[in-house]
């Protein structure tokens, strides 16, 4: 039996009917020709043919697939039933569509980001290696060049190892394109072979190019090659300018190579770029290390080899900054690190919402099947099979789920697109795509939610006497008690899930609020920031760099609308910005190990411009430029407290190797600032940027009004000073903080949205159950009121009934939250997982919503006219 015949049987039947008609017409013609009267001719013709209907029906049956036919009938029956209650159907479909849509969208992201292997050869053998700082504060720390070299020699379990570092570069070429600042990575020559990629065009570095004496070479990423060089297939051998130095393009990476993140545009050779002395050191942590395990070697085995090698290096170079242990994780984990927890939290939240949605629909279906109890009982007693009744119920919920899927899958697609656009910083965001697997998952979700929502209420058909309900009348007050109990259980579970979502959202939100309200230690309102870096060809002397900074400052100060302007190599909140170890000549030599502070270079007006308080001493002065600027240092409060406890740091000295080993006199102490919102503040040293020893800087411009209007004028001003100098990261201070808290903001907002949906669903559920119970008990309430019961006691009676599942669910949910929040404790900043204010607020909110949802039907019931109620029978 073919499906084609099954679906075309209606057409075939009509054709058959016409064929029979023709046949009978011919027979009549023939009979008339034989001289029979037309009347008789017709009679005989029909008699001879027999039952046309029977033949047609037989053929129809023959063309029919039983299963399909039954399914189709159930389907139409369900669709008709649902059509009669459009409000119910619409609510159920919307609820499920939201659940299915959100869940499928998150699945798409989780699959692409966390589950799809990286596009490298045998990606399961690739790992990333790290140093572990002695105080365990940096579990996955950068690796020092000397350490990497030691690992390479002493880890037999590793087939190949490569390293890379990240930096930014000014990119220009003779093609007439504007100069730009690009993210740049320098990789060891064996990095690409370790990863197992082949170039799309040309070749990778050779070992001799990856050395200080090698010729300068560069490899382009596919996206840069397409964007800036128009996909020129003859690019290999051409020369481009990086920081005004000529580099020969030797190859282009394939499009699939988006590593370590989409921002990296070019690759140069590690040992050619880095300072040969620096790259040998074991205590300057700068690089990422990727390794390929030999077949059969586990991550733990390789880690123990590398760890031993680290300990050996530490013994030979026992400086405070030489790590004594190593760490490792899979390369995929290294790439996605932070995204993992976030995405799993969101996936869990959407699964919760989908579950709640299913429970809600199940709940609504229970209510409906309860109101159809009599019909069902009659059908069962007339011999209708229980399986058949169950099948009808499941079909009905499947029809709902299908409709929800039809709405939810486009929703999922839109959700995914939205996520890609709003989170371009997400790891592997380029790998996210919607495909057949996602569609299958969505259909699976549709089937699962349909089954779940249908089986729960349908299960009651399979057990218990159906006949009993025939004997029930609405005067027996126990009517429908078993289905009411089922609904209450469903509700309690629903409420419990809602509570878990609410507490999670509350905690994440609180943590985000804390993050946003943090004091960076400087002015953040109406501050515009941007970055640049001076190429060392044109700016080859300290004098030239210093002069540029001076002119730039002068021009900025006189610009209309600018209230204050300052330069710093790294602004508050813009990251670590480098550090240096030092000693204090005034202190006894033996007591000083591991003195270390972050470094910033700033201009004389910087502290005042950005509102960092000067606590004692003075700021830099204009005369402290070039050599004269290399004898003074300003420290922050943390440094003063940590290294000069109980003494005045002013006038003391700091000996450090910034530009050759030298002493710097401490001339001022300023307030602390945060370099990263989620990291504790640390000791910091400020030097004079006018010394000309620094070639990059951030500009901070402060204004009285909205500062974003100044972005263009400032850029134009810089273009006047040097038309070839690219500017990057033009952001207001608030935007740049927003960027760094995007993660927290995003996750907490989404979870909150899901929690609100869940709360709404729970409220709808509570309202539905209580309305139903109240209707069931109409006559009972009528009798009570007729016998003189107070209306308030009726309200109380019903409220108690409705709130029971709410508080049971609440208790369950609070206990569940207690466990759940432990899972997200890593994501919380400044918030305790067991924050009693959140738990109390959630409980109060939930009870309030529950009480409101229950109050309406209870109040309505209390206003029943007893006479009316009793007459309703």
Partner 1 sequence: MGGMKKPADVDMLKGTLDMLILRTLVMGPAHGHTIAHVIEHTSENVLDVEQGSLYPALHRLEDRGWVSSYWGASENNRKAKFYQLTAAGRKQLVAEAGRWRQIVEAIGRVMGESLD
Alpha-carbon Rg of the chain, whole angstroms?
38
Beta-carbon contacts of 401 under 8 Å, excluding residues fewer than 6 positions away, are 96, 100, 446, 447, 449, 450, 453
Considering the rule CB under 8 A, would residue 15 count as an interface residue with partner 1?
yes
User: Least distance from C-beta 40 to partner 1, angstroms?
Assistant: 18
| Total length of the chain | 873
Tell me if residue 573 falls in helix, strand or coil. Answer: coil
Contact with partner 1 (CB under 8 A) among 6, 16, 68, 441: 16
User: Closer CB to partner 1, residue 18 or residue 76?
Assistant: 18
Binding of residue 5 to partner 1 (CB under 8 A): yes
Total site size for partner 1, rule CB under 8 A: 26
Here the tokens at position 96 are 């499920």
Residue 729 found at the interface with partner 1 (CB under 8 A): no
Collapse the DSSP code of 597 into the 3-class scheme (helix H, G, I; strand E, B; otherwise coil) and give the result.
Answer: strand
Site string for partner 1, 520-559 (x = CB under 8 A): ----------------------------------------
CA distance 827 to 833: 10
> Of these, 7, 10, 14, 25, which contacts partner 1 (CB under 8 A)?
25
Residue number, 27 or 780, with CB nearest to partner 1: 27
Cis peptide before 415 (omega within 30 of 0): no
Considering the complex, state which of residue 14 and residue 657 has its C-beta at the smaller distance from partner 1: 14
The yes or no reply on residue 800 touching partner 1 (CB under 8 A) is no
383 touching partner 1, by CB under 8 A: no
Q: How far is the CB of 371 from partner 1 (least distance, A)?
A: 30
Which residue number, 15 or 865, has a Cβ lying nearer to partner 1? Answer: 15
CB of 499 to partner 1, least distance (A): 51
> Is 16 or 807 the residue whose CB approaches partner 1 more closely?
16
Candidate segments 25-33, 119-127, 599-607, 767-775, binder of partner 1 by CB under 8 A: 25-33
Q: What share of the chain is helix, strand, coil (3-state, %, to 5)?
A: 55, 15, 30
Q: Residue 141 gets which letter from DSSP?
A: B
For partner 1, the binding residue among 19, 375, 468, 647 (CB under 8 A) is 19
Site for partner 1 in 809-838 (CB under 8 A): none
Q: What is the rounded distance in angstroms from the CA atom of residue 201 to the CA atom of residue 187?
A: 18
Report the C-alpha gap between 816 and 822 in whole angstroms.
Answer: 10
Backbone angles phi, psi at 149, to 5 degrees: -60, -40
DSSP string across 535-570: -TTTS-SHHHHHHHHHHHHHHHHTSTT-SEEEEESS
- Least Å distance between CB 44 and partner 1? 12
The answer to whether residue 166 forms part of the interface with partner 1 (CB under 8 A) is no
Please say which residue, 50 or 788, places its beta carbon nearer to partner 1.
50
Beta carbon nearer to partner 1, 70 or 180: 70
**Cβ closer to partner 1: 62 or 576?**
62
Q: Does 22 bind partner 1 (CB under 8 A)?
A: yes
List all residues 6 or more positions away from 498 whose beta carbon is below 8 Å from its beta carbon: 356, 755, 758, 759, 761, 762, 809, 813, 846
Q: Which stretch binds partner 1 (CB under 8 A): 15-23, 244-252, 400-408, 431-439?
A: 15-23
Burial class of residue 97 in the structure, from the number of CB atoms within 10 Å of its CB (0-12 exposed, 13-18 middle, 19+ buried): buried
Which residue, 29 or 706, is less far from partner 1 as judged by CB?
29
Query: What's the min distance (Å) between Cβ of 45 and partner 1?
Result: 10
36 binds partner 1 (CB under 8 A): no
d(CA 485, CA 483): 5
By CB under 8 A, residue 23 contacts partner 1: yes
The CA-CA-CA angle for residues 585, 591, 594, to 5°, reads 85
Compute the distance between CA of residue 292 and CA of residue 289 in angstroms, rounded to an integer: 10
- Cα separation, 792 vs 636, in Å, equals 67
- Give the interface segment with partner 1, choosing from 43-51, 388-396, 596-604, 622-630 (CB under 8 A): 43-51
Asked if 29 is part of the footprint of partner 1 (rule: CB under 8 A), the reply reads: yes
Least distance to partner 1, CB of residue 7, Å: 15
Nearer to partner 1, 43 or 238 (CB): 43
Least spacing, CB of residue 55 vs partner 1, in Å: 4
Q: Could you tell me which of 644, 26, 89 has the C-alpha nearest to residue 653?
A: 644
CB nearer to partner 1: pick between 55 and 440: 55
CB 13 to partner 1: min, Å: 11
Least Cβ distance, residue 19 to partner 1 (angstroms): 5
Q: In angstroms, rounded to a whole number, what is the distance separating the alpha carbons of residues 248 and 215?
A: 8
Nearer CB in complex with partner 1: 70/579: 70
Residue with tokens 């569940």: 816
Closer by beta carbon to partner 1, 22 or else 792: 22
- The answer to whether residues 697 and 689 touch, using CB atoms and an 8 Å cutoff, is yes
- Which residues on adjacent β-strands are paired with residue 702? 527, 564
CB of residue 50 to partner 1, shortest distance in Å: 4
Considering beta carbons, is residue 51 or 822 the nearer one to partner 1? 51
The residue among 222, 234, 221, 241 whose CA lies nearest residue 175 is: 241
Among the listed residues 399, 506, 495, the one whose alpha carbon sits nearest the alpha carbon of residue 454: 399
Name residues whose C-beta falls within 8 Å of residue 198's C-beta, 6 or more positions apart in sequence: 254
Minimal distance, residue 5 CB to partner 1, in Å: 8
Alpha helices in 588-723 (DSSP H): 606-610, 637-643, 711-721
State yes or no: residue 375 binds partner 1 (CB under 8 A): no
CB 23 to partner 1: min, Å:
5
Any contact of residue 382 with partner 1 (CB under 8 A)? no
Of the two residues 22 and 136, which places its CB atom closer to partner 1 in the complex? 22
Question: Based on CB atoms, which residue is closest to partner 1, 385 or 868?
Answer: 385
Count other Cβ atoms within 10 Å, centred on residue 363.
29
The torsion of the CA quartet 534, 539, 543, 547, rounded to 10 degrees, works out to -50
When asked if residue 27 is in the footprint of partner 1 (CB under 8 A), the reply is yes
Min dist. Cβ of residue 466 to partner 1 (A): 24
Q: Work out whether 418 is an interface residue with partner 1 (CB under 8 A).
A: no
Closest listed residue to residue 549, CA positions, set 557, 853, 391: 557
- Beta carbons within 8 Å of 841's beta carbon, 6+ residues apart: 506
Residues 44-73 that bind partner 1 (CB under 8 A): 48-52, 54-55, 57-59, 61-62
Tokens of 8: 């075309």
Indicate whether 34 belongs to the interface with partner 1 (CB under 8 A). no
Q: Which letter, b or e, does each residue of 47-59 get, where b requires 16 or more Cβ atoms within 10 Å of its Cβ?
A: eeeeebeeebeee
243: left (phi over 0), alpha (psi -120 to 50) or beta: left
Smallest separation (angstroms) from partner 1 to the CB of 461: 23
Binding mask 276-305 for partner 1 (x = CB under 8 A): ------------------------------
Q: Which of 7, 14, 26, 215 binds partner 1 (CB under 8 A)?
A: 26
Residue 81 CB, shortest distance to partner 1, in Å, is 23
Which residues of this protein are in contact with partner 1, per CB under 8 A? 5, 12, 15-16, 18-20, 22-23, 25-27, 29-30, 48-52, 54-55, 57-59, 61-62
């Amino acid at each position: 039996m073919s499906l084609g015949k099954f679906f075309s049987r209606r057409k075939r039947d009509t054709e058959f009917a016409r064929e029979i008609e023709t046949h009978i017409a011919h027979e009549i013609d023939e009979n008339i020709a034989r001289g029979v009267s037309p009347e008789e001719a017709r009679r005989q013709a029909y008699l001879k043919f027999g039952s046309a209907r029977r033949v047609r029906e037989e053929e129809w049956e023959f063309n029919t697939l039983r299963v399909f036919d039954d399914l189709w009938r159930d389907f139409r029956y369900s669709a008709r039933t649902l059509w009669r209650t459009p409000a119910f159907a619409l609510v159920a479909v919307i609820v499920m569509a939201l659940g299915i849509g959100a869940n499928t969208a998150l699945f798409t992201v989780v699959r692409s980001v966390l589950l799809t292997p990286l596009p490298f050869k045998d990606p399961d053998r690739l790992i990333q290696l790290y140093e572990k700082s002695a105080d365990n504060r940096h579990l996955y720390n950068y690796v020092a060049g000397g350490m990497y070299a030691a690992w390479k020699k002493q880890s037999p379990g590793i087939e190949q190892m490569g390293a890379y570092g990240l930096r930014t570069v000014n990119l220009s070429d003779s093609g007439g394109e504007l100069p730009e600042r690009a993210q740049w990575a320098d990789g060891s020559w064996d990095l690409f072979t370790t990863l197992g990629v082949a170039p799309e065009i040309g070749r990778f570095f050779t070992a001799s190019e990856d050395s200080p004496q090698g010729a300068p070479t560069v490899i382009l990423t596919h996206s840069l090659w397409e964007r800036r060089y128009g996909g020129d297939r003859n690019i290999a051998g051409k020369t481009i300018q990086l920081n005004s130095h000529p580099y020969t393009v030797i190859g282009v990476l394939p499009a699939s190579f988006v590593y370590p993140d989409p921002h990296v545009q070019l690759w140069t050779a590690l040992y050619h770029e880095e300072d040969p002395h620096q790259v040998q050191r074991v205590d300057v942590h700068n690089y990422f290390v990727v390794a390929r395990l030999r077949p059969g070697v586990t991550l733990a085995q390789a880690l123990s080899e590398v760890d031993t090698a680290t300990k050996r290096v530490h013994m030979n170079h026992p400086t405070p900054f030489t790590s004594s242990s190593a760490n490792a994780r899979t390369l995929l984990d290294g790439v996605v690190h932070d995204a993992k927890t976030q995405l799993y939290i969101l996936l869990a939240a959407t699964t919760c919402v989908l579950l709640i949605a299913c429970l809600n629909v199940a709940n609504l279906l229970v209510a409906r099947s309860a109101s159809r109890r009599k019909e069902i009982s009659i059908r069962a007693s007339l011999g209708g099979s229980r399986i058949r009744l169950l099948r009808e119920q499941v079909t009905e919920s499947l029809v709902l789920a299908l409709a929800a899927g039809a709405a939810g899958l486009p929703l999922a697609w839109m959700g995914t697109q939205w996520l890609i656009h709003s989170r371009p910083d997400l790891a592997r965001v380029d790998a996210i795509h919607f495909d057949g697997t996602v569609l299958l998952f969505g259909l699976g979700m549709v089937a699962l939610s349909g089954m779940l929502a249908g089986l729960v209420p349908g299960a009651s058909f399979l057990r218990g006497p159906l006949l009993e309900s025939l004997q029930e009348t609405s005067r027996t007050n126990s009517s429908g008690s078993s289905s009411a109990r089922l609904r209450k259980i469903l509700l309690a579970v629903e409420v419990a899930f809602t509570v878990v979502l609410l507490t999670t959202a509350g905690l994440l939100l609180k943590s985000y609020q804390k993050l946003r309200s943090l004091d960076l230690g400087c002015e953040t309102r109406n501050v515009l920031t941007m970055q640049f870096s001076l190429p060392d060809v044109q700016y080859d002397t300290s004098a030239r760099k210093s002069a540029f900074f001076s002119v730039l400052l002068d021009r900025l100060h006189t610009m209309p609308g600018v209230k204050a302007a300052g330069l710093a190599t790294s602004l508050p909140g813009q990251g670590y910005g480098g550090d240096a170890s030092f000693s204090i000549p005034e202190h006894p030599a033996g007591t000083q190990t591991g003195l270390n502070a972050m470094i910033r270079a700033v201009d004389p007006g910087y502290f005042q411009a950005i509102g960092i308080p000067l606590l004692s001493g003075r700021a830099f002065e204009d005369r402290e430029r070039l050599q004269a600027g290399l004898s003074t240092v300003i420290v922050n409060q943390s440094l003063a407290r940590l290294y000069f406890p109980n003494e005045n740091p002013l006038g003391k000295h700091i000996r450090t190797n910034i530009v050759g080993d030298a002493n710097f006199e401490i001339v001022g102490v300023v307030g602390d600032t945060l370099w990263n919102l989620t990291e504790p503040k640390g000791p910091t040293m400020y030097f004079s940027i006018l010394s000309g020893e620094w070639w990059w800087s951030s500009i901070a411009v402060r204004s009285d009004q909205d500062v974003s209007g100044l972005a263009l004028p400032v850029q134009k001003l810089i273009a006047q000073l040097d038309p070839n100098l690219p500017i990057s990261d033009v952001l207001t201070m608030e935007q740049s903080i927003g960027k760094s808290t995007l993660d927290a903001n995003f996750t907490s907002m989404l979870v909150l949205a899901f929690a609100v949906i869940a709360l709404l669903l729970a409220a709808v559920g509570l309202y539905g159950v209580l309305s139903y119970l109240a209707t069931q008990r109409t006559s009972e309430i009528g009798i009570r009121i007729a016998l003189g019961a107070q209306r308030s006691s009726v309200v109380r009676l019903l409220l108690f009934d409705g709130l029971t599942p709410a508080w049971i669910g609440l208790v369950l949910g609070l206990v569940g939250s207690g466990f759940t929040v432990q899972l997200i404790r890593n994501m919380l900043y400044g918030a305790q997982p067991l924050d009693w204010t959140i738990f109390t607020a959630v409980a109060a909110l939930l009870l309030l919503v529950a009480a409101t949802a229950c109050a309406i039907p209870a109040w309505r019931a209390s206003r029943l006219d007893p006479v009316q109620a009793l007459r309703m029978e």
